[in-house]
Copies of this chain bind each other. A is one copy, B any other.
C-alpha cells in the first residue's frame, strides 16, 4: 500500500499483482479517494490535457458566428478521441489571463496585434500557438485564408458585370467595434487582419469604393450599415454592395427589401463565408465560400503536431466564388 503502487494501479501503467490491485482499490474506497488529482498530475506530467481557444469577442458572441461553429466542428473532428478539453478564453472580458492559462497549446481566432505579449509568454513556456486568420505572429503557426485574393475575385465579378459605384461594408475594425466610415486613419490604426485583407481585395478592383464598418457580423448590423448607404435617390446609390460576411449581406438584402429596392435588378450584393443561412432569405447569395471546417481541422492538426514535438505546418486555404441570385448587371 505504498503511494507508488497506488499510482501504478490508477495509471494502469506498471505490472501489479491482482491481489495488490484489490487492496489498493479497497483502501481508496475506504479513504474516499477519487483518483489522481488532475492538478498534481498536470504538474508532474508537464501537460494539462487542455487546449486554449482564444477569441476576440465575448464568449457567446463568438459562438453566434456560424463560421466559428463550423470551425469548432473542424477542431472537434480533428481532435477526435484525443483526450483533450477546450478552454475558451475570451480576450474581451476580464476573464482568465491567456499568459497564465493552464493550457498545452493555444489556438488564436483572428486575434489582433496586442496579443503579442501574451503569445511571447506562452512561447517562453513552450506552449505552441496556432493563429487562425490573425496578423502574422512570430513563432505561431499560421492558418490563413486568401481573404484578399478571394474578395478581389468577387469584386472582379461585379466589375465585369459593369458595376462602378460600389460600396463596402466591413467587419469591425477595432476592439471597440465602432461603426462608421472607414478612413485612411482608421485603416492605419486597425489591427483587424481579416477585415483589412478583405477590404484591400475589394479596393484592388474598386480603389475609391467607400467603406463603412459594421459593429459586428450580424444581420442587424448589416441592415443598419445598409440603411445609411441605400437611403438615397437611385442615382446616388451604389449599384452593388460588397459585404464582408454573409450575415452582413443578408442584412443588406433585408434592408433593401424594406426600402423597396429590388435585388439584383437595382442592387447587387456580394457576401463572404458561404454559410447556409437557411430561411433567412429567399435569395441565393453570391458569396465567397470559405472552407471553415477545414480551417478548424488544419488548426487542430497543427496543434496536435506541435504537441507531438513536430513542427506544425502553416496552411493557406482558398475560398471559392459561388454565384447566386444576388448579382446582376446594374440597371440602366
CB within 8 Å of B: which residues of A?
32-43, 46, 48-50, 58-60, 63-64, 69-70, 72-73, 75-76, 79-90, 93-97, 99-102, 120-122, 124-125, 219-220, 250, 254, 278-281
B residues within 8 A CB of A89?
85
A82 to chain B, nearest CB (A): 8
Q: What are 26 A-B contacts defined by CB distance under 8 Å?
A: A34-B99, A34-B120, A34-B121, A34-B122, A35-B121, A37-B43, A37-B125, A39-B42, A42-B42, A43-B43, A50-B96, A58-B76, A59-B86, A60-B70, A63-B63, A63-B72, A64-B69, A80-B94, A81-B93, A83-B94, A85-B89, A85-B95, A86-B95, A87-B87, A87-B88, A280-B280
| B residues near A33, Cβ cutoff 8 Å | 124
Collect the chain B residues with CB atoms within 8 Å of residue A220's CB.
Answer: 278
Bound CA–CA A93/B75 (angstroms): 12
Q: Provide the residues of chain B in CB contact with A124, threshold 8 Å.
A: 32-34
Is the pair A102, B102 in contact by a Cβ cutoff of 8 Å?
Answer: yes
User: Which residues of chain B are near A120, meaning CB under 8 Å?
Assistant: 34
Docked CA distance A79–B281 (Å): 37
Distance A82 CA – B60 CA, assembled complex (angstroms): 17
**Is B84 in contact with A95, judged by CB distance below 8 angstroms?**
yes
Partner of A279, one of B75, B95, B99, B281: B281
Asked whether A87 lies within 8 Å of B50 as measured between CB atoms, the reply is yes
Decide: A96 and B121 in contact? CB cutoff 8 A: no
Residue of B nearest to A96 (CB): B85
Nearest CB in chain B: distance from A109 CB, A: 13
A60–B101 Cα distance when bound, in Å, is 22
Majority DSSP secondary structure for residues of A touching B: mixed
| Given known contacts A39-B39, A279-B281, A95 and B72 CB-to-CB distance under 8 angstroms | no
- Chain B residue nearest to A68 (CB atoms) is B63
Question: Nearest Cβ in chain B — how far from A285, in angstroms?
Answer: 14
With A59-B86, A279-B281 already in contact, the answer to whether A94 and B81 are too (CB < 8 A) is yes
- Give chain B residues whose Cβ lies under 8 Å from the Cβ of A95: 79, 81-86
Closest to A89 in B: B85
In the complex, the 3 A-B pairs of residues with the closest C-beta atoms, listed nearest first: A85-B96, A34-B124, A81-B94
Whether B63 contacts A69 by the Cβ 8 Å rule is yes
Among A87, A90, A281: residue with most chain B CB under 10 A: A87
CB closest chain-B residue, reference A127? B34
Using CB atoms, name the residue of chain B closest to A100: B38
CB-CB under 8 A from A88, the residues of chain B are 85-88
In the complex, chain B residues whose CB is within 8 Å of the CB of A81: 93-95
A90's nearest neighbour on chain B, judged by CB, is: B76
The 8 Å CB contact of A36, one of B37, B86, B94, B100, is: B100
- Residues on B with C-beta less than 8 A from A41 are 100
Most buried by B among A46, A49, A102: A102
Q: How far is the CA of A100 from the CA of B296 in the complex (A)?
A: 26
Instruction: Give the CA-CA distance A149 to B230 in the complex, in Å.
Output: 48
